[in-house]
Structure 1
């Protein structure tokens, strides 16, 4: 009997293969549990708080759109100027000041 155990200990399949298979199979079960925890946490975070849910409600949606329209109606959308942003090697404040002075 002890000779059979020694023979198994010297066998490369038993020494390296079986632990590797156990690691791969066990790892997949472990990863499944960890990913399940992640998805459960995402479900909890996706629940809307009541204030936000009231804003998303379709019955009140038209009133919200009307409020946004009233805000945008007063803005002057035609009197804007296109100002180029600074390049990485340029000083941003200096460049923006030059753009503002050039336009006036």
Structure 2
């Protein structure tokens, strides 16, 4: 009896143990709830098997050598870097201005 009363008056037992239980128990509870979320996302993201086959074929069909040969054929001497419009510039007007300046140079 004496030990039980002493434990009830002890601040560590009175406040610390419930706090530890809450933190550790909350950690396990949150893990279960977040796992449900990720499982639902995985189910929702599954593709139709025929569409998934097409996607996999497209990924495998691009070869590095083929891409290199295609890039060798591009004429980079006639390429010109044209900047896009600034946020304060009206994009349609700026595009027209760029087109007109290119046509004048040619």
Q: TM-score, normalised by structure 1?
A: 0.59
Aligned to 1:34: 33
Aligned to 1:89: 88
- Aligned Cα RMSD in Å? 3.3
Q: Which runs of 5+ in 2 are unaligned?
A: 63-73
Aligned to 2:100: 101
Task: After TM superposition, give the deviation of residue 85 of structure 1 in Å.
Answer: 0.8
Aligned to 1:71: none
SS in 1 for 2:88: coil
Aligned to 1:18: 17
Distance 1:37 1:85, change over 3 A: same
Q: Report the count of equivalent residues.
A: 88
Question: In 1, distance between residues paired with 2:36 and 2:7?
Answer: 40
Question: In 2, distance between residues paired with 1:55 and 1:29?
Answer: 41
Q: TM-score, normalised by structure 2?
A: 0.58
